[in-house]
Structure 1
Amino acid sequence: MAERRVSAGRRRHRAEWLRWGSLAAAVAVVVVFLLSQGQDIDVSYGQSPASSDAVAEGGAGELGDVTVPSVDEMAALVRADDVVRLPGAIASWDERRVREAVGDAEVRILVAPPGLDEDERDRVRDVDDATVRVIGTEVTGGIYQASADSAVGWRAQFAVGDVTDQMVALIAQLRDRPAPEAVDQFDWRDPDEAELAAVAADLRATGVHVGAGATLDGIPEDLAASAFPDRRAWYVVLPRQPFGEPVPRYGPALAELFPDTPVVVVYGWWIEYHGPHAGDFDEVVGASFYAQLGERLSLYDYPQRNVLAGYLARVTDVRYAGLFDRPLPYRPFDPLRVALPALPWLFTACVAVYLVLSARPLLRRSGAGARTGVNARLAGLTALAIEVSGLTDVSGNPSLTRAIGKLGAAGEALARNLPDRHVRSLLDDAEAELDDTARSLGRADYRPDSYLSERLA
């Protein structure tokens, strides 16, 4: 008999530990859940290794060994001639289309070379007699600037130095007339057998062909490896092409010769990609690269190596964005991200364990005459708390937690035969907290008065 009493005492002791442990776990889950709501989530595929800090003017070899005359000297030149080209100027245009845009207006054009520093650019812009100013391939006039905004416009501008569309659009704006549609005047031709054979031989031998007049002094190998990690790309680098002459289109021909090899073709400052994943891939890379850096490329005289390095860095950025079936960087396992959706269910389970264990001794005493009403009320409020615990959101959790604590204290008071007045006071507090919880949920049927009346009906 004594052994059975000891065994029963041990079971009650274990039940008490489990009951209070489940309550502590429920409180801990609520705290973690509430704190997680204020976290800032950074969704990213990883930091591209090609990202770099901004470089001050002149730090990337973009300033050429050129200068311009004084403002007065340039003003005198512009007054003497409708079109003034300063030494080193590279911009060209279709004279017929520009004359049609000018019409009978007086338009004077000043063309300066790229690679000027800020002071020299300011001197060009201070020539008030010039209606249109072209620095490199940047076209401005008055308060306006005309820029290319498509692959067709960027290709003409950076492969040939053609600024016809920009000049026509700017002159129309200055004359308060609608701008005409842009015209693709870029003239391609297929390379002949000798040209293609010479380029293909260099690519097979070294992976690089540098045409006469190109300034490339080497491939940036680190960026090339990160841009094309699966297979080394081959490069064809040519100088800026002559304006008004057909340009040999090496890309498609080389892609047909070497179908599994990435091929990058450079014309001046215009870069094309041909090979695996071509199509949407090269359009995204080219559009993002020239949309962001086109203004700098139009003003400065960057070495071709630097332009190619910037392009390869953009290819790497696009690859790290997870597009076009490129490999993604490793993302470490985040326990909180995985566990967070399960926290409300874990909270509900802990509360249910606590309330069931708290109600067991009370249910055994439900037949006691003096405390029948108190026990029934405690049982009803406990059942209500269990039902509500699976429905509460963040705003309802604090009041529900307090109600559970009050119900636990009421159960403990009954187990210790404390005065009924004390037990009723705890139940009143629990009922008020459950009423706040029901209000926060917008559920009138879970307010204690309604719930208990339906339970007793």
Structure 2
Amino acid sequence: MVDRIRWALLAVAVAVLVTFLLVQKQSTDVSYGQAPGAKDPIPEGSAGELSGATVPSTEQMTAMVKASAVVRLPGAIATWDDQAVKAAAGGTGYRVLVAPPGLKKADSTRVHDVDAATVRVVGTEVSGGILQASPDRASEWIREFATGDVTESLTTLVAHLNHQPEPPDQATIARRDPTAEELAATTTALRGTGRFIAPGATLKDAPATTAAFPGAQPLYVALPQQPIGQPLVHFGPALAKEFPGRPIVAVYGQWVEYDGPSAAAFSEVVTASFYGQFADRLSTYAYPQGNVLGAWLDRVTAIRYAGLFDRPLPYTPFDPLRVALPALPWLFAACAAGFLVLSARRVARPGRPTGAGVPARLAGLTALAVEISGLTDGASAAALTRGITQLTAAREAFTEKLPDRHVHGLLDAAESDLDTTAELLGRPDYRPAAFLQGRLA
């Protein structure tokens, strides 16, 4: 009986190998006119990111900085709380050079060559020496991109350069409901054209339909950079009541936020993903609001089509060849390994009994997920959501008595997501390896 199995495995391995080799295709595509090569980089300024602003020579700016502690070049947009920065400096001196966003590379280089400046601010990018201070959470991004407020980054960098204690975080930015006049003007424009563009906003047009919100026509509100120190108008909730079921996208300067259907499900994830990737470039350049909005809508589309929030995946016709080909090498390897094992008369060790260790791991990881659920926000919330999804799948697989290996694979994925969550929270005590120590013994 063993010999029959052994030779059957060998026959299957040979058949799989022959099949795999026969379906391989090798072709040559030669084009003498357009030989394949690396794509050309996007030319500087082609995306509207340059403001056209220029700066004086390095020598002139050096003289200006030596004559004044704070030098603001024409077109500069960054603002900050002077008292907070002075407190962070701890009585020591500092000199700030503030330049406009969207500089060409040569102008930006001249700004960074001004060694007399303790801190250089280009757009809303804050740097000093070889250091750069950057926000990493939504409460700081909204200040920077909606109002040009760089107090958080500036105080952190100044305190570090002067060896002072790190200042406390700023309070959450104040918001207010729109006045009756503001709401009336906005709703009138939205009912007419589907968009409200306030004076000073750079948004020229917005797509009437987008894959980001399938089956719904979004409404857009665009405002210029808002003044620092004043409550930010919160149009989203008020407009969501006026237009139930419609997606509401509000743009404040370079800050984009969403209200409407399923806002709680994906809005924070989109914000963390978009600004986590593009914040550095948005802070330095002067992209028109249309470019920022387009990139934001693309990110919403990508996240929705990823299937993370119960949105249907795009239909893909079933292709048996595409599905089977990746499995053929593994099938060959499995058959060959089985043949070798049986040929050597090796006795495989018995596998772990079904379900061994699963209840303990499942209970421990579930307890960990519950304990950290109240601490997450932004990117850490997304990682926790993935972990909980894997735990739910593992619980269902265990209940349905699926193979032990499958259940442990789901638990491994959940443990990895929870480990990422703890790392993003900066809580090593909540990493599964530490939290579960002693629980599974």
Distance 1:35 1:260, change over 3 A: same
What is the identity, as a one-letter code, of the residue corresponding to 2:191?
Answer: R
Counterpart contact for 1:33–1:340, Cα < 8 Å: no
1:439 aligns with 2:355: no
What is the identity, as a one-letter code, of the residue corresponding to 2:297?
Answer: L
Q: Which residue of 2 aligns with 1:271?
A: 256
Q: Which residue of 2 aligns with 1:282?
A: 267
Higher mean alpha-carbon deviation, 318-327 vs 52-61, is at 52-61
Counterpart contact for 2:212–2:300, Cα < 8 Å: yes
Q: CA deviation at 1:274?
A: 0.3
Q: Which residue of 2 aligns with 1:302?
A: 287
Query: How far, CA to CA, are the matches of 1:278 and 1:34 in structure 2?
Result: 53
Q: CA deviation at 1:399?
A: 4.7
What is the identity, as a one-letter code, of the residue corresponding to 1:27?
Answer: A
Q: Which residue of 1 aligns with 2:16?
A: 32
SS in 2 for 1:213: coil
Query: How far, CA to CA, are the matches of 1:287 and 1:274 in structure 2?
Result: 16
Q: Which residue of 2 aligns with 1:160?
A: 147
Query: How far, CA to CA, are the matches of 1:320 and 1:113 in structure 2?
Result: 37
Match of 2:118 among 131, 134, 139: 131
Q: Which residue of 2 aligns with 1:320?
A: 305
What is the identity, as a one-letter code, of the residue corresponding to 1:162?
Answer: D
Q: Which residue of 2 aligns with 1:333?
A: 318
Q: CA deviation at 1:329?
A: 1.0
Counterpart contact for 1:78–1:110, Cα < 8 Å: yes
**% same residue:** 52
Deviation sequence 1:387-420 (CA, Å, 0-9, x none): xxxxx954444458xxxxxxxxxxxxxxxxxxxx
Normalising by structure 1, we get a TM-score of 0.66
Query: How far, CA to CA, are the matches of 2:159 and 2:16 in structure 1?
Result: 63
What is the identity, as a one-letter code, of the residue corresponding to 2:260?
Answer: G
Q: CA deviation at 1:201?
A: 1.2
Distance 1:164 1:35, change over 3 A: farther
Query: How far, CA to CA, are the matches of 2:272 and 2:215 in structure 1?
Result: 23
Normalising by structure 2, we get a TM-score of 0.68
Q: How does 1:332-411 map to 2 (within 5 A)?
A: 332-335=317-320, 393-399=334-340
What is the identity, as a one-letter code, of the residue corresponding to 1:124?
Answer: V
Counterpart contact for 2:13–2:336, Cα < 8 Å: no
Q: How does 1:70-219 map to 2 (within 5 A)?
A: 70-184=57-171, 186-219=173-206
Deviation sequence 1:363-400 (CA, Å, 0-9, x none): xxxxxxxxxxxxxxxxxxxxxxxxxxxxx954444458
Query: How far, CA to CA, are the matches of 1:61 and 1:213 in structure 2?
Result: 17
SS in 1 for 2:173: coil
Distance 1:70 1:393, change over 3 A: closer
1:248 aligns with 2:233: yes
Query: How far, CA to CA, are the matches of 1:25 and 1:395 in structure 2?
Result: 7
Q: CA deviation at 1:228?
A: 1.2
Distance 1:298 1:24, change over 3 A: same
Counterpart contact for 1:83–1:110, Cα < 8 Å: yes
Counterpart contact for 2:239–2:248, Cα < 8 Å: yes
Counterpart contact for 1:396–1:441, Cα < 8 Å: no
Counterpart contact for 2:53–2:102, Cα < 8 Å: yes
Deviation sequence 1:89-136 (CA, Å, 0-9, x none): 000001110111112211000000001011111100000100000000
Query: How far, CA to CA, are the matches of 2:327 and 2:78 in structure 1?
Result: 64
Q: Which residue of 2 aligns with 1:384?
A: none
Query: How far, CA to CA, are the matches of 1:133 and 1:97 in structure 2?
Result: 17
SS in 1 for 2:346: helix
Q: CA deviation at 1:169?
A: 0.5
What is the identity, as a one-letter code, of the residue corresponding to 1:298?
Answer: S
Query: How far, CA to CA, are the matches of 1:157 and 1:146 in structure 2?
Result: 12
5+ residue gaps, structure 2, are 1-6, 21-38, 351-441
Query: How far, CA to CA, are the matches of 2:325 and 2:41 in structure 1?
Result: 39
Higher mean alpha-carbon deviation, 176-185 vs 304-313, is at 176-185
5+ residue gaps, structure 1, are 1-22, 37-51, 348-391, 401-433, 444-457
Distance 1:115 1:333, change over 3 A: same
Distance 1:95 1:340, change over 3 A: same
What is the identity, as a one-letter code, of the residue corresponding to 2:171?
Answer: D
Counterpart contact for 1:233–1:261, Cα < 8 Å: yes
Query: How far, CA to CA, are the matches of 1:318 and 1:342 in structure 2?
Result: 28
Q: CA deviation at 1:327?
A: 2.1
- The number of equivalent residue pairs is 327
SS in 2 for 1:227: coil
